[in-house]
Amino acid sequence: MTLVSSKFKEGLSLFHDRVAAMKERSEYIAKPTASTKLVGPQTAVAEVDGFSVTSDEPEWLGGHRTGPTPSALFCASIGFAEDFIFARQAVLHGVDFDHYETRVEGHWDMKGSFGFDGRDPTVTEFQIETKVTSQAPVEKIVELVKLTHLRCPMTATVSKAAVVSRKLWVNGTEVPL
């Protein structure tokens, strides 16, 4: 069973051609936007593309645990972006796949968020683990995952600010990248 429908393939082909034809910077620069509002001491709601997304901290930190933490959402957004870019790369290269999963773990110094010892709160490392199930040759999946890492805007951005380590499993077997 493939995760890629013919409707997605057709839509991606049209989108690919439309982007290829864009000449002006104002046409091809995406501007994702979110507006957030604090609704509790550690609870915020974002309005994004007509959707409401809640982020919250655990109760012990003054939250109500009504949604993921901001740092968890940050990691999820990297995973979401890699998932979508991989699907696009697979279609563009004629590769079907049955399963694609990304796990993203970020490392940051909590002392930095309080300014202790002059520490920096920057996320210094991301570990990205990808699992793919496909009948395609392993070498082709490795190629597509490498293209995903290069072409994913989220990964490209965080790679400039933090160490990004990666692991890949294809059909249950770890393979080098």
Confidence of residue 2 (pLDDT cuts 50, 70, 90): confident
Q: How many whole angstroms separate alpha carbon 128 and alpha carbon 81?
A: 12
DSSP line for 73-109: HHHHHHHHHHHHHHHHHHHHTT---SEEEEEEEEEE-
Please state, as a whole number, how many other Cβ atoms lie within 10 Å of the Cβ of residue 16: 13
Coil, strand or helix: which one is 11? Answer: helix
pLDDT of residue 132: 97
Q: What is the mean pLDDT of the chain?
A: 94
Residue 166's contacts (CB-CB under 8 Å, 6 or more residues apart) are: 127, 128, 129, 130, 149, 177
Instruction: List, for residues 79-118, the tens digit of each pLDDT value.
Output: 999 999 999 999 999 999 999 999 999 999 999 999 999 9
* pTM of this structure: 0.91
Structural domains of the chain sorted by starting position, each given as residue range(s) with its CATH number in brackets: 6-23+69-175 (3.30.300.20)
Q: Point out which residues pair with 98 in neighbouring strands.
A: none
Instruction: List, for residues 24-34, the tens digit of each pLDDT value.
Output: 999 999 999 99
pLDDT at 4 over 90: no
Helix, strand, coil shares of the chain, percent, nearest 5, are: 40, 30, 30
pLDDT of residue 145: 96
C-alpha dihedral (7, 78, 94, 23), degrees to nearest 10: 80
pLDDT of residue 157: 94
pLDDT at 162 over 80: yes
